[in-house]
Amino acid sequence: MKKITAARLLTACAGALALAAGIVQGGYRDTLSKAVRICLECVGIG
């Protein structure tokens, strides 16, 4: 049981670090601009 909890904690920490690294590098800007472009194309504006 403790091994499973430790594995979950380690996975959560690794995910949080990857998320923080993406934010620091500005990766959210690319994702947001692509999402906006796709939404505008679906509506027919872009």
Average pLDDT of the segment spanning 11-37: 92
Return d(Cα 35, Cα 20) in angstroms, integer: 20
Q: What percent of the chain has pLDDT over 90?
A: 48
Average pLDDT of the segment spanning 18-35: 90
Q: Is the pLDDT of residue 28 over 80?
A: yes
* pTM for the predicted model, two decimal places: 0.59
Average pLDDT of the segment spanning 21-42: 89
List the one residue out of 7, 9, 32 whose CA is nearest residue 22: 32
Q: Find the DSSP H helices in 1-46.
A: 2-25, 27-43
Return d(Cα 46, Cα 16) in angstroms, integer: 34
